[in-house]
Amino acid sequence: RGGLGLVWASKNLKYLIVEEEEAEDSGISGAVESANQDVLRLLMASPVLTGEYGIGTFGDAALLDLVNAKSFLPSCFHTQVCYREIEKINAPAFHRKYRPVKRSCRNCPVGCGYADSDGRSFPDYEAIAGFGALLDNPDMESIFAAHALCNDEGLESLGAASVLAFYLKQKRMRLSAGDLPLWIEKIIRCEEEGYLLAKGTFR
C-alpha cells in the first residue's frame, strides 16, 4: 500500500531469490542465541501476541475488538468510528463458525496463520475491517469469499474495500452481502464500474 509494489514494477522486478550459505562461525553464534532467547521470552510474556485472545490464538484479526472499543475502526462507509455488529464478524466469531487449522510461517513462535478445512486463508484484520466494518457488512461468508478472491488475484483487501466504500457512498448505494464478491470480480476483470474502481480511489 505504501508504493513498494510500484517501485518494483518500475524496475521490472517480479521476485527475489534468497539463497542460504554456510558462514564461518566468528564467535557471535552464542550472542545471537542469547538475543533470540530474550526476544522469545518477551513474546511469550505478551498477552497481545500469545494470550488467550491474542494474535497467536486468532491471528491479527484479534485486534479488531480492541480497535473497535477504542473507536478507531472506520465503519459504515467512513461515517462511524466503531462498528455496532463487530461481534458477528470478529476473530472469535470466525473461529466458531469455521474449523480453524493452524497454518503459520515456519519456525514462528507466535503462529498467527489460520485456514479453514478447505485450505482458505482466514481473513485478516484488514480484510474484516474493510469488507466487514467499512462496508457495513456483517456477513462472514461474503467477507471470506471477497478475501479469497483478492488473495487469488493479487488485490489488497483493504484497498479494494476502500475504493468500493468510496464509490458506493458517492452513489448512495447500499451493499448486499451476496453482491460483495461480484463487485470484487468486476474490479479484477475491469468490467462495468470495475474499470473505474480498478484505477483506485484518487482517480
* Nearest of 90, 74, 93, 94 to residue 82 by alpha carbon: 74
When pLDDT is cut at 50, 70 and 90, the band that residue 15 belongs to is confident
pTM of the model: 0.81
**What is the per-residue burial (b if ≥16 Cβ within 10 Å, else e) of 2-18?**
eeeeeeeeeeeeeeeee
Residue 61: which residues within 8 A CB-CB, separation 6 or more? 90, 91, 94, 122, 123, 124, 125, 128
Count CB-CB contacts under 10 A for residue 60: 17
Count CB-CB contacts under 10 A for residue 95: 16
What's the rounded Cα separation, in Å, for the pair 75 and 188?
24
pLDDT digits (tens, 9 = 90+) for 109-129: 888 899 988 888 899 999 999
Name the β-bridge partners of 121: 115
The answer to whether residues 146 and 131 touch, using CB atoms and an 8 Å cutoff, is yes
Helix (H) or strand (E) holding 111: none
**Portion of the chain with pLDDT greater than 90, in percent:** 60
Name the β-bridge partners of 72: none
* Nearest of 155, 128, 156 to residue 141 by alpha carbon: 128
Average pLDDT over residues 156-165: 94
What pLDDT, on the 0 to 100 scale, is given for residue 196?
93
